[in-house]
Amino acid sequence: MSNQGKSGYEIRADLLSLAESIIINNIENERQTIYSWNDNHSETKKEIPLRTYTAQDVIQTAKEFNDFVNEK
């Protein structure tokens, strides 16, 4: 195993992958919360919104992670 650091491309790819995973996880958590509410409150069911995300959402989130990492 090499002790060399990751290249800038590898770091960006990792940040993009992490950002997308977190966005997907957040969407799924919101949906699960509504499913749980609806299971327990049949008289006041909430509509499950159709949430999507774009490449720009992923890029913006990755930039926020990168900014955080680069803070001094």
Per-residue model confidence (pLDDT) at position 2? 54
Classify residue 63 as exposed, middle or buried by CB count within 10 Å of its CB (0-12, 13-18, 19+): middle
Q: What phi and psi, each to the nearest 5 degrees, are found at residue 31?
A: -65, -45
Give per-residue pLDDT as tens, 14-51: 999 999 999 999 999 999 999 999 999 988 999 988 89
Whole-number Å distance between alpha carbons of 34 and 5:
42
Query: Any idea where the domains of the chain sit in the sequence?
Result: 8-70
Per-residue model confidence (pLDDT) at position 26? 96
